[in-house]
């Protein structure tokens, strides 16, 4: 026990010494750190100032960024959010026929647009729109639900009556954010009739302004697009709540400049009859196609033109291949026997043969290993030039041209303009950037069989319009007029002038040529083209068709045509009518007679 207490006292003594020593050391430490305590107090004062300065700098930099660096951008964005920009489409010019009938016109329409950010109930608004318009509910809902947008189209160029119905519903139901804009739409009152001539438009978008506009894509809509189209306008303005204009907020108000009207040469009544006659005639013959042109030889004005299949610019849900082209202008063909008039005219001009001069014509002739014969079997016989033409003898015209000289034929083909385009105001004639049209082997490469073939219209290609121009010159004292559609521009009073050319120099030979063409109808292959009380002059053709795949000519399939006019009458109308790929025998003369009989009644033509 004593030992334990003694040890405990020693422990308590050591603890007391330790506590005394710690107090002594703490006192010394406190005296040594007196200067550091003053620094800490100073730091405590400086730190808040530093934080304040840093925050102020951040605020200043932010204000500088907002008010200086991006101020314009933010201002523009704010302005854009309340700005509406509308492109104002120019009213496209109207196309009239020669009698003032409207063939193409821009009619009043309405475009419906919306400001989705103002639409409070997109589902209700979409349902309202779908009740009147033909679109899908889901599509309208998607457009109207885009609350981050200020402008979107709902429907463009719809009937005014339909738009008025929607406008009434929108107002009655208190729907916000749907607006209506006056617009125009292209209409074609006669539909298919004259559709290939008039052509069609499509809506295009200007890449710079986003403006929508009509642009011609075929026919005269394309050829005279610059005249018809006009210049679009633009309206840009700021609007406040409820789409109310802000005073002084109009940034641009450029009015649209409407396009010019044009009057063209076709007679829509005759045009309809020609289309009906051509289609019925070609169907009856089992033809693969056909085309027709009627032109006034004295002026070059085209009264009617069409080709199968037809084109309806008012309904383009189904467009057959080639329907938008006027094949009388764009398509080449080997003309066959209607080209014998070219050879006969050259013979008469050069005085190589007269109409009653005789020539021995065997049943067939050979050249370069080829045999040439007439379309119908016959024996050897002596024929006059008149008989060669009215019986359409391939052998006879070949020998007659050989007697004249092949170089003379070539020279006259060039002089008659049958190697170049006619200048008709319709897209698609001739090769791009050239005046070349058709195919003819250069004379230095003519073989004997080539020369024979060309003399009766094989081995050479032309267009129906070229042949109409040539026959027109025969009926116009040797003067060829440029075929054309445009007659005038009413607003400006402009009446275009077209070139004419004296292509038949020996005009004294023309009456003889006309007389021989009359004989073709009176006594020859063109008898079914005769019209009571009139002297029809013209030429038939049954042309072989070149085989594009195997070379040579197709068997048993022909292109049939007739080109002629009413000689010694009050009219100088020239008519071409043709049927392509006709199996077996047939004739185009009946269609010519039907068309010209209607023209006689329509235009009060007298002998």
Residue-wise pLDDT for 327-375, tens only, equals 999 999 999 999 999 999 999 999 999 999 999 999 999 999 999 999 8
The torsion angles phi and psi of 348, rounded to 5 degrees, stand at -70, -40
Residue 325: how many CB atoms within 10 A of its CB?
A: 19
Q: Return the SS3 of 94.
A: coil
Rounded (5°) CA angle 110-150-106: 20
pLDDT of residue 40: 57
- Which region holds residue 350: left if phi is over 0, alpha if psi is between -120 and 50, else beta? alpha
Q: In this structure, are residues 312 and 191 in contact, taking their beta carbons and an 8 Å threshold?
A: yes
| 99-149 pLDDT tens trace | 999 999 999 999 999 999 999 999 999 999 999 998 899 999 999 999 888
Homologous superfamily assigned to 85-264 = Penicillin-binding protein 2a (Domain 2) (3.90.1310.10)
| 380-405 pLDDT tens trace | 999 999 999 999 999 999 999 999 99
CA dihedral 596, 598, 602, 607 (to 10 degrees): 50
User: Where exactly are the structural domains of the chain?
Assistant: 85-264, 268-312+324-603
pLDDT of residue 28: 44
pLDDT of residue 33: 47
Environment class of 474 (CB within 10 Å of its CB; exposed 0-12, middle 13-18, buried 19+) = buried
- Cα 235 from Cα 156, distance rounded (Å): 17
pLDDT of residue 279: 97
Work out the pLDDT band at 180, boundaries 50, 70, 90. Answer: very high
Work out the pLDDT band at 71, boundaries 50, 70, 90. Answer: low
CATH class of 268-312+324-603: alpha beta
Say yes or no to pLDDT of 170 above 70.
Answer: yes
Tokens of 525: 């292959």
Tell me if domain 85-264 and domain 268-312+324-603 are identical in fold: no
Mean per-residue pLDDT, 275-286: 96
Work out the pLDDT band at 3, boundaries 50, 70, 90. Answer: very low
36 vs 297: which has the higher pLDDT: 297
Q: In this structure, are residues 310 and 192 in contact, taking their beta carbons and an 8 Å threshold?
A: yes
Mean per-residue pLDDT, 314-319: 94
| 399-418 pLDDT tens trace | 999 999 999 999 999 999 99
pLDDT of residue 29: 44
Q: What does pLDDT average to over the chain?
A: 88
- Cα 591 from Cα 285, distance rounded (Å): 11
Work out the pLDDT band at 14, boundaries 50, 70, 90. Answer: very low
Q: In this structure, are residues 471 and 480 in contact, taking their beta carbons and an 8 Å threshold?
A: no
Environment class of 99 (CB within 10 Å of its CB; exposed 0-12, middle 13-18, buried 19+) = exposed
Q: In this structure, are residues 520 and 526 in contact, taking their beta carbons and an 8 Å threshold?
A: yes
| Residue ranges of E strands in 434-551 | 479-481, 486-488, 500-502, 535-546
519 vs 233: which has the higher pLDDT: 519
């Amino acid at each position: 026990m004593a030992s334990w207490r003694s040890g405990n006292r020693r422990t308590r003594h050591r603890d007391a010494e330790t506590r005394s020593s710690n107090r002594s050391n703490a006192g010394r430490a406190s005296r040594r750190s007196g200067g550091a305590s003053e620094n800490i107090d100073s730091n405590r004062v400086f730190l808040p100032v530093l934080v304040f300065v840093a925050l102020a700098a951040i605020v200043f930099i932010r204000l500088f960024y907002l008010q200086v660096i991006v101020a314009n951008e933010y201002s523009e964005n704010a302005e854009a959010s309340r700005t509406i920009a509308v492109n104002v489409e120019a009213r496209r010019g109207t196309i009239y026929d020669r009698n003032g009938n409207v063939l193409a016109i821009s009619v009043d329409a309405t475009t419906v647009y919306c400001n989705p950010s103002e639409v409070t109930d997109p589902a209700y608004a979409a349902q309202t729109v779908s009740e009147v318009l033909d679109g899908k509910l889901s599509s309208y809902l998607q457009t109207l639900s885009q609350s981050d947008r200020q402008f979107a189209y709902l429907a463009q160029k719809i009937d005014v009556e339909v738009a008025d119905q929607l406008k009434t519903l929108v107002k009655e139901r208190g729907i916000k954010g749907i607006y209506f804009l006056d617009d125009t739409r292209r209409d074609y009152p006669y539909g298919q009739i004259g559709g290939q001539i008039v052509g069609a438009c499509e809506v295009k978008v200007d890449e710079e302004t986003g403006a929508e506009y009509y642009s011609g894509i075929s026919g005269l809509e394309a050829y005279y697009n610059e005249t018809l189209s006009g210049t679009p306008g633009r309206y840009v303005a700021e609007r406040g709540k409820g789409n109310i204009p802000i005073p002084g907020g109009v940034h641009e108000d450029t009015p649209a400049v409407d396009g010019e009207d044009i009057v063209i040469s076709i007679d829509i009544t005759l045009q309809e009859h020609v289309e009906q006659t051509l289609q019925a005639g070609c169907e009856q013959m089992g033809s693969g196609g056909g085309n027709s042109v009627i032109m006034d030889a004295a002026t070059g004005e085209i009264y009617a033109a069409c080709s199968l299949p037809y084109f309806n610019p008012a309904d383009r849900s189904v467009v057959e291949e080639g329907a938008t082209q006027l094949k009388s202008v764009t398509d080449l063909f080997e003309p066959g026997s209607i080209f014998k008039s070219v050879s006969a005219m050259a013979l008469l001009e050069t005085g190589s043969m007269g109409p009653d001069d005789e020539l021995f014509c065997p049943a067939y002739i050979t050249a370069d290993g080829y045999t040439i014969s007439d379309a119908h079997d016959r024996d050897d016989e002596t024929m006059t030039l008149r008989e060669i033409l009215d019986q359409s003898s391939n052998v006879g015209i070949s020998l007659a041209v050989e007697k004249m000289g092949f170089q003379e034929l070539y020279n006259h083909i060039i002089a008659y303009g049958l190697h170049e385009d006619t200048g008709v105001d319709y897209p698609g004639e001739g090769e791009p950037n050239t005046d070349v049209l058709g195919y003819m082997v250069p004379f230095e490469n003519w073989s004997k069989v080539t020369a024979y073939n060309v003399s009766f219209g094989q081995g050479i290609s032309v267009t129906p319009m070229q042949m109409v121009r040539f026959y027109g010159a025969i009926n116009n004292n040797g003067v060829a007029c440029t075929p054309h559609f445009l007659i005038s521009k009413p607003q400006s009073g402009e009446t275009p002038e077209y070139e004419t050319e004296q292509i038949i120099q020996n005009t004294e030979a023309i009456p003889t040529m006309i007389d021989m063409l009359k004989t073709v109808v009176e006594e020859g292959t063109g008898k079914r083209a005769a019209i009571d009380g009139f002297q029809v002059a013209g030429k038939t053709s049954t042309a072989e068709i070149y085989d594009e795949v195997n070379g040579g000519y197709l068997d048993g399939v022909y292109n049939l045509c007739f080109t002629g006019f009413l000689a010694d009458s009050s009219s100088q109308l020239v008519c071409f009518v043709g049927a392509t790929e006709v199996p077996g025998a047939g004739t185009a003369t009946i269609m010519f007679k039907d068309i010209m009989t209607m023209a006689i009644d329509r235009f009060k033509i007298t002998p």
